[in-house]
């Protein structure tokens, strides 16, 4: 790394020098070479989503939330209803999107530390026959929890509804496919597990589902069908100004994903990072919010070490030592979060643990502990 600190966050995250270098080039959005890059990206995203026949990737300007809003606002028909699984801030955000767009919604609320229950969703679908679509967050980074999307997808498929998966913080870092999730739409963003910079979101969807969105969009700029048709008809052209530098960097990031060994290899590294982090933090004296069985390899929530914990001081001390972390997001516990994705490797986790141990001693968190963090060792 040649930046001042590592980003231990769920995105934006630390990128490689190669990705950053790829942005140092100006291109025209009308250039055939550039549009060929867009088409190649679209093809490779379809491959990452299982290479399901009759599926396409649509790139959308804006952050991941833009992709979520484009999908919800384009997929649900005027007489449809959306069942939203909510056990964190990002499920709640989908409910807010539906409300703002005038889409009738049915909330499936679960506690922030409770995975979504497929049986509960099945019951809601039986008692709400007007529901046409179901949306769920795969990795709810509010807590770091993984929702059982495969099981939920089976329930939704059996009920004959359309399934939308917000895989913002998991696509490219956790193996999945449209078929394995029984999904019609998978939504993600450039600046997550693909390890790219922010700039656009993307939706990988079945062509039949995209066809059905024609004329439904509640927004001009977030018209998923309109963007898909533009890219299909004009070979990679975006309807409005595309983030050219980000697109070039994304192509490089996909090359680096392949070079690492694909999604399976990246998943292994992220899992190793997270395991080392939890073991080392527990050695220091910190406790995780979630049990291991519910924890994703993407980001981990830790309880505040003491009631008088000052997150900003802890943050500043770690930043001085080369690491940036995230504040907590759950509403009923005092926590902070550490991400383990991006250009982060086991040696970086070991250095982080040494820094946390140093800061913890300085701030007097665990005065009776004498052991030093070990991580998992090398």
Q: State the Cα–Cα distance between residues 156 and 165, nearest whole angstrom.
A: 11
* Residue 346 shares a structural domain with residue 221: no
At which residue do the structure tokens 């007007």 appear?
Answer: 130
Assess contact for 19 and 3: CB atoms under 8 A: no
* Residue 244 shares a structural domain with residue 270: no
| pLDDT score of 1 | 41
Assess contact for 81 and 131: CB atoms under 8 A: yes
Assess contact for 58 and 210: CB atoms under 8 A: yes
- Domain assignment present for 126: yes
According to DSSP, the residues that pair with 6 across neighbouring strands are 323
* Residue 55 shares a structural domain with residue 197: yes
* Residue 87 shares a structural domain with residue 213: yes
Residue 77, Cα to own-chain centre: how many angstroms? 26
Range of 67's domain? 27-259
* Residue 234 shares a structural domain with residue 289: no
* Residue 176 shares a structural domain with residue 268: no
Average pLDDT, the chain: 95
| pLDDT score of 368 | 75
Q: How many domains is the chain partitioned into structurally?
A: 2
Count of other CB atoms within 10 angstroms of residue 316: 12
Tens of pLDDT, residue by residue over 56-92, are: 999 999 999 999 999 999 999 999 999 999 999 999 9
Give pTM, 2 decimals: 0.95
- Domain assignment present for 370: no
- Domain assignment present for 67: yes
CATH classification at residue 160: 3.40.640.10
Residue 165, Cα to own-chain centre: how many angstroms? 11
Those residues of the chain that have pLDDT short of 70 are 1-3, 369-378
CATH classification at residue 349: 3.90.1150.10
CA 136 vs CA 183, 228, 261, 340: distances in Å: 11, 23, 28, 22
Tens of pLDDT, residue by residue over 168-194, are: 999 999 999 999 999 999 999 999 999
| pLDDT score of 288 | 97
Element spanning 79, H or E: none
Q: Which two tokens stand for residue 178?
A: 């449209």
* Residue 282 shares a structural domain with residue 248: no
Phi, psi of 85 (to 5 degrees): -80, 125
* Residue 171 shares a structural domain with residue 246: yes
């Amino acid at each position: 790394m040649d930046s001042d600190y590592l980003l231990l966050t769920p995105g934006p995250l630390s990128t490689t020098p190669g990705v950053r270098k790829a942005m140092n080039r100006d291109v025209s959005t009308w250039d055939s070479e550039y549009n060929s890059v867009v088409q190649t990206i679209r093809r490779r995203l379809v491959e990452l989503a299982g290479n399901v026949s009759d599926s396409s990737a649509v790139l959308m300007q804006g952050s991941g939330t833009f992709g979520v809003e484009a999908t919800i606002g384009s997929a649900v028909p005027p007489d449809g209803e959306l069942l939203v699984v909510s056990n964190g801030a990002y499920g709640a955000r989908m409910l807010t999107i539906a409300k703002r767009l005038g889409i009738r919604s049915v909330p499936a609320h679960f506690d922030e530390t409770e995975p979504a229950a497929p049986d509960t969703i099945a019951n809601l679908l039986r008692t709400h026959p007007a529901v046409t679509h179901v949306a769920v967050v795969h990795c709810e980074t509010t807590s770091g929890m993984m929702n059982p999307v495969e099981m939920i997808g089976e329930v939704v498929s059996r009920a004959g509804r359309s399934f939308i998966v917000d895989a913002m913080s998991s696509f490219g870092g956790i193996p999945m496919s449209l078929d394995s999730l029984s999904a019609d739409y998978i939504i993600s963003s450039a600046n997550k597990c693909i390890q790219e910079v922010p700039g656009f979101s993307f939706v990988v969807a079945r062509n039949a589902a995209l066809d059905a969105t024609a004329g439904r969009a509640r927004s001009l700029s977030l018209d998923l069908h309109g963007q898909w048709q533009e890219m299909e008809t004009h070979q990679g052209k975006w309807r409005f100004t595309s983030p050219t530098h980000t697109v070039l960097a994304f192509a490089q990031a996909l090359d680096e994903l392949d070079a690492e060994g694909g999604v399976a290899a990246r998943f292994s590294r992220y899992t190793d990072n997270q395991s080392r982090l939890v073991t080392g933090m527990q050695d220091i004296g910190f406790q995780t919010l979630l049990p291991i069985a519910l924890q994703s390899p993407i980001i981990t929530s830790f309880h505040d070490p003491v009631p008088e914990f000052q997150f900003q001081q802890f943050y500043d001390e770690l930043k001085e030592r080369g690491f940036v972390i995230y504040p907590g997001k759950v509403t009923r516990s005092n926590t902070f979060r550490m991400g383990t994705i991006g250009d982060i490797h086991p040696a970086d986790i070991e250095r982080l643990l040494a820094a946390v141990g140093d800061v913890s001693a300085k701030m007097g968190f665990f005065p009776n502990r004498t052991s030093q963090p070990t991580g998992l060792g090398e």
